[in-house]
Amino acid sequence: MNYWQSIILGAVEGFTEFLPISSTAHLILTGKVLSIAQTEFVKSFEIAIQLGAILAVVWLYWKKVLLNKEIIKKITAAFLPTAIFGLLLYKIFKSYLMENLSIIVWALFLGGIFFIIFEYWHKEKPEDTESIEKISYKRCFLIGSCQAISIVPGVSRAAATILSGLFLGIKRKTIVEFSFLLAVPTMLSATILDLLKSSSSFSFNQFGLLAVGFIASFLVAIIAIKFLISYIQQNDFKLFGIYRIIIASIFWWMFL
């Protein structure tokens, strides 16, 4: 991997992390296009640059979170099931799932179909929950449990949390912001876990690649977050479902 490839992967991570299209899948598929070998460092790189996207959320939402203990408690309740599943399935994720292109493409494709069907069925109601503080702890736990499914590359952490929240009667903007905030402990813990296991084998140059990818991820993630908040004010998620089907079909034709 070179620095230009690091910048591209960082930008891809930053733009796709908070959209319901699977950042992990896009990083792996982008690596295929750029002919980047899926080494242990590259796998760790694709996890570690999530820190840049995390920092973008913290940068934009720190006042809202730090000044509201109720939001912190709700995010914690949603994070618990994800933490448990993540610790149990970490080895399977890194050693098998991240290398299985068929699983990634099928998850993107089927997820796209599900998105479209769900959006035709779902209708937002006036009584739907309109603030994070009012989401019950039970629903927080259920959303976190659904997020755990996104350990399968191609499912999308954002898609799992957003769809489950909409299904549970939470307003669109509220569940999108909840998904942003839930990403912070989720991605932070995943990155720390991986770096603790892998960073001792990194070279000085590889740490430089991580730094460049981190900065690119941070800057692009700020744009992506603002874009999604603006987009969902007037639109649903069917377009993302269509995109998932198209991108899955293209990569199926190119690589499978």
CA-atom Rg of the chain in angstroms:
17
What is the pLDDT confidence band of residue 190, given thresholds at 50, 70 and 90? Answer: confident
For residue 151, pLDDT over 90 is answered with: no
Q: How many domains does the chain have?
A: 1
Helix axes 204-231, 50-66, angle to 10 degrees: 50
Q: What pLDDT, on the 0 to 100 scale, is given for residue 166? A: 95
Burial 21-46 (b: 16+ CB within 10 A, else e): bbbbbbbbbbbeeeebeeeebbbbbb
Q: What pLDDT, on the 0 to 100 scale, is given for residue 153? A: 82
Q: Which residue has the higher pLDDT, 47 or 116?
A: 116
Q: What's the CA gap between 73 and 94, in Å, rounded?
A: 30
Q: Is residue 1 classed as helix, strand or coil in its secondary structure?
A: coil
Whether the CB-CB separation of 190 and 50 falls below 8 Å is answered with yes
Give the model confidence (pLDDT) of 81-111 as tens digits.
888 887 776 566 656 666 678 888 999 999 9
Q: What pLDDT, on the 0 to 100 scale, is given for residue 196? A: 78
Whether the CB-CB separation of 156 and 20 falls below 8 Å is answered with yes
Whether the CB-CB separation of 215 and 53 falls below 8 Å is answered with no
Q: Is residue 130 classed as helix, strand or coil in its secondary structure?
A: coil
Whether the CB-CB separation of 194 and 44 falls below 8 Å is answered with yes
| CA 22 from centre of chain | 6
Q: Which residues, listed in sequence order, are joined to residue 170 by a DSSP beta bridge? A: 129
In this predicted structure, which of 156-165, 186-195, 217-226, 234-243 has the lowest mean pLDDT?
186-195
Q: What's the CA gap between 91 and 208, in Å, rounded?
A: 26
Mean pLDDT of the chain: 88
Domain ranges, residue 43:
3-255
Q: What's the CA gap between 192 and 201, in Å, rounded?
A: 15
- Which tokens in the block code for residue 121? 């069925």
Q: Which range is most confident: 8-12, 34-38, 62-66, 145-149? A: 8-12
Place of tokens 């089927």: 110
Q: What pLDDT, on the 0 to 100 scale, is given for residue 163? A: 94
Q: What's the CA gap between 88 and 74, in Å, rounded?
A: 23
Give the model confidence (pLDDT) of 4-23 as tens digits.
999 999 999 999 999 999 88
